[in-house]
Amino acid sequence: MTRGIGQYPGRVADYHGPQMVKDNAYRNLALHRAAYVSASLDYNLTAQLATDGIVTRDMPPTLTVSTREGRLTLRDKDKPFDGNIHSYVAMEGNRNYLQMDWTGMAVDVSKITLNADLAYHPEAADSGYAIVVMASNDGRRWQTVGELKGDGLPGVATKQQVSSDPNKQENKILLPLRNVKTDIVLTRPGRYRHIRIVFRMKGTAYWRLYELNDGWLPSAHFGSAFAVEMPGKPAATSNSAAASGSAASANGQQPWLYVDLGTTADIDHLRLHWIHKAHGGEVQLSDDARSWRRIAPLPDDNRLDQTISCKGRGRYVRLLMDKPDDSRLLVLSEMEVWGRGGLVAQANDHRAIHDWELRRDGDNQWIKATVPGTVLTSYMNIGAIPDNRYANQMRQISESFFQSDFWYRASVTAPEAADGQHTYLNFDGINWKAEVYLNHQPVGRIDGAFIRGRFDVSRLLHQGENLLEVRVIKNAHFGGVKVKNQVSTDLNGGVLGADNPTFHASIGWDWITSTPGREVGIWNDVYLSTDRGLSVADPLVTTQLNLPDTLATMTPVVMVANSDPRAKSVVVSGWIGDIRFAKTMTLQANERREVSFMPTEFPQLSQQPMKLWWPNGYGTPYLYDAGFEVREASDSRASSVVHYKAGIRQMSYADADNALKIFINGKRLIPLGGNWGFPETNLNYRGREYDAAVAYHRDMHYNMIRNWVGQTGDDEFYDACDRYGIVVWQDFWLANPWDGPDPYDEQLFLTD
């Protein structure tokens, strides 16, 4: 039984999100319903923010970037601030400038951090240079606040020669290149809304400006409103609020915004909360989002809060907007559609940890959450945002809304307690970091997307229901949005690599676009487990064959832990098929130890005629039922048991320094396969999906999958590869330096 084509997870039993049901309450039917627009001012102020339930009077943060040639496009204006040292803005000529104009925010500046290249004509560069920083708070009155100048050439010479055409469209002459990486300390530090950096040097072919100060992108400064710029020249100057963002108008068409109520509903009236209002237009209704009928005009008055009577019945409600004010902007904080018969989310979870809810940090609106699942998945599953895997609907979702910490909460039903029993709260994966609380008491912290959290909560749990709260902390280095089109897939990677281990690909690559939130959330399982103070975990078997014979000598290994504050005499036992082994040892108080069963001690593990695991095309990938258990020596009951599938195989390598060769069970493996980045954009594959996808690899006669940059961490992926004879080339969380920096926190990387 499946939930439908393209619905992940597909198996009904694997889905733990809410069910959407129809109700008859009189309410705002548009709250947390997906909205769509013809265009938006930037990647932050999208349709989503018109139905997020947050009403504001403040103009949301926006940024315009311009040079002597004019305003930069939506993608280009982010390049000096996206943390990618390979994306740049080019400025040609002896005198040019880069100007930043913010609305809805200002920036604190004490210095300008400049990373740029300069291509120049050496025969003409004989009059020195000046880089002048100017600032303003109104865009009209400017003052010089910093300067870097000299009689020679700026920066340091490189050995590189570059084309005199910055866009490499024409093969012109080759010019020398200098790198200018410096701080310009301001003589008048302060908080400004407008900054202009003027570049003056005789003989300049062009500057390539790679990076300026951190924290200047509006996506890091959330403001809740949809915004679009109407076509036509703004009434104000290019330094005004009217010029914010890019010319993301509706290609000369009348802009529109519609909300999908999810079902046919009875509509009574609209409430609109404007910041810059439309003085003309109409309210429309539709059953299919293609054919629209007019049900009311948009009033031409000066009220920013409007109530519009528009009785009707339909699923889609659209605003067709016209006649902006002098700013040429239409900015709508919230669109409310009041009526009956809409959809509400109902919890559909009967696990011990259940009734998950979620809210954005700083917002008091809780929504029904899906766990496991990213934050984006939770919003999608209640219908608050469009399906981001379809068409260009990813860009209908707000970058700035999801560039935030998020809070989860759930109810935990305590298991029946027994003497000496320990209860653990387990997290198999969160992104990026997390603080965990149980009944308002701190439990622990998780750092990194691929480390597990296991917390002994025995003393914090009480009988009945308990409150679990998790603050999930966003990535520190989000970067900018990549734009893909017929001409280019945009640059790979970016500054998100500094946060590795994380889902680095979510910043955008040639095979995936930028994902809002960068996969923030509780992406893997959360569950309770119990033992009597002793546990086993992380089993492993390594194999050595007596080549050319295939008799196997095996070394099983397992992690054993004592959670009690006293030493214990314990028995650790294990099995691989019909082969069994055990040893007695002493574990100190709170000790965690790796326990190995050496074939020199256990002859039943040495020189055994075992069925071997072979890669696809070389033989059968045979798997043995295997496991470990631990108990106190004085107790016949197992405290903890772990079951796994064991493939008996020997891996060996040759010529690793120049032409790597891989051997399995003594036979050379010719790798056939490809990269596996994400299973899908929102990380929603489960066992059913992994089984099908890896089986396709088997059917295509592949024998290897590269787990690209270590982006897949689900046990079900590795289990499927074991079943189908697929070798996993396991990357660490490192891209090459071109695609993003090495991790800034080396200890975090090593711990994960």
pLDDT digits (tens, 9 = 90+) for 199-251: 999 999 999 999 998 889 999 999 999 999 987 644 333 222 223 333 344 45
Looking at every residue in the chain, the average pLDDT score rounds to: 93
- DSSP line for 420-487: T-EEEEEES--BSEEEEEETTEEEEEEESTT--EEEE-TTT--SSEEEEEEEEEPPS---------SS
Q: For residue 169, is pLDDT > 90?
A: no
φ and ψ at residue 567, rounded to 5 degrees:
-70, 150
> What would the mean pLDDT of 388-403 be, rounded to a whole number?
94
Residue 170 has a pLDDT of 64
Which contiguous run of DSSP H or E holds residue 381? Answer: helix 375-381
Strands (E) across 638-680 are located at 640-646, 651-654, 661-664, 667-669, 673-676
Question: Is residue 505 a contact partner of residue 707, using CB atoms and an 8 Å limit?
Answer: no
Architecture of domain 532-651: Sandwich (2.60)
Environment class of 572 (CB within 10 Å of its CB; exposed 0-12, middle 13-18, buried 19+): buried
Distance set, CA 77 to CA 246, 278, 402 (Å): 8, 27, 20
Question: Is residue 109 a contact partner of residue 135, using CB atoms and an 8 Å limit?
Answer: yes
pLDDT band at 65 (very low <50, low <70, confident <90, very high): very high
More confident position, 114 or 234: 114
- The CATH homologous superfamily of the domain defined by 25-59+225-340: Galactose-binding domain-like (2.60.120.260)
Q: For residue 86, is pLDDT > 90?
A: no
SS (H, E, C) 384-424: CCCCCCCCCHHHHCCHHHHCCCEEEEEEEECCCCCCCCEEE
Residue 84 has a pLDDT of 84
Q: Closest Cα partner for 205 from 76, 100, 96, 127? A: 96
Measured distance CA(141)–CA(158) in Å, rounded:
38
pLDDT band at 326 (very low <50, low <70, confident <90, very high): very high
Measured distance CA(495)–CA(512) in Å, rounded:
16
pLDDT band at 417 (very low <50, low <70, confident <90, very high): confident
Which CATH number is 346-529 given? 2.60.120.260
pLDDT band at 315 (very low <50, low <70, confident <90, very high): very high
Q: Which of 61-65, 97-101, 162-166, 410-414 is least confident? A: 162-166
User: Which token pair is 568?
Assistant: 């214990």
Residue 250 has a pLDDT of 45
Helices 715-724 and 687-699: crossing angle, nearest 10°? Answer: 30
Which residue spans of the chain are classified as CATH 2.60.120.260? 25-59+225-340, 62-219, 346-529
Q: Which of 171-180, 270-279, 661-670 is least confident? A: 171-180
- 694 three-state secondary structure: helix
> What would the mean pLDDT of 243-269 be, rounded to a whole number?
75
Give the rounded percent of residues in the chain with a pLDDT score beyond 70: 97
> What would the mean pLDDT of 499-528 be, rounded to a whole number?
95
> What would the mean pLDDT of 731-742 be, rounded to a whole number?
87
β 373-374/521-522 pair status: antiparallel
The length of the chain is 752
**Single-letter amino acid, residue 312:** G
Measured distance CA(502)–CA(374) in Å, rounded:
13
Which contiguous run of DSSP H or E holds residue 541? Answer: strand 534-545
∠ Cα 258 262 265 (to 5°): 90
Residue 172 has a pLDDT of 74
Q: Closest Cα partner for 219 from 404, 86, 491, 375? A: 404
Cβ neighbours of residue 148 closer than 8 Å, sequence gap 6 or more: 130, 131, 154, 182, 184
CA dihedral for 16, 22, 26, 32, sign (positive or negative): positive
> What are the pLDDT digits (tens) for 527-571?
999 999 999 999 999 999 999 888 999 999 999 999 999 999 999
β 673-676/704-707 pair status: parallel
pLDDT band at 358 (very low <50, low <70, confident <90, very high): very high
∠ Cα 704 709 712 (to 5°): 70
Buried b (16+ CB within 10 A) or exposed e, 128-138: ebebbbbbbee
Residue 149 has a pLDDT of 95
> What are the pLDDT digits (tens) for 600-629?
999 999 999 999 999 999 999 999 999 999
Domain 62-219 sits in CATH 2.60.40.60: no
Measured distance CA(98)–CA(405) in Å, rounded:
32
Measured distance CA(403)–CA(475) in Å, rounded:
8
β 329-340/367-368 pair status: unpaired
- 236 three-state secondary structure: coil
Give the rounded percent of residues in the chain with a pLDDT score beyond 90: 86
Task: Describe the chain by its helix, strand, coil percentages, rounded to 5.
Answer: 10, 45, 45
Measured distance CA(12)–CA(122) in Å, rounded:
69
> What are the pLDDT digits (tens) for 738-752?
888 999 999 999 998
Cross-strand bridge partners of residue 642: 628
φ and ψ at residue 123, rounded to 5 degrees:
-70, -20
Residue 252 has a pLDDT of 54
Which residue spans of the chain are classified as CATH 2.60.40.10? 532-651
Residue 589 has a pLDDT of 96
Q: Closest Cα partner for 353 from 436, 406, 409, 407? A: 409
pLDDT band at 399 (very low <50, low <70, confident <90, very high): very high
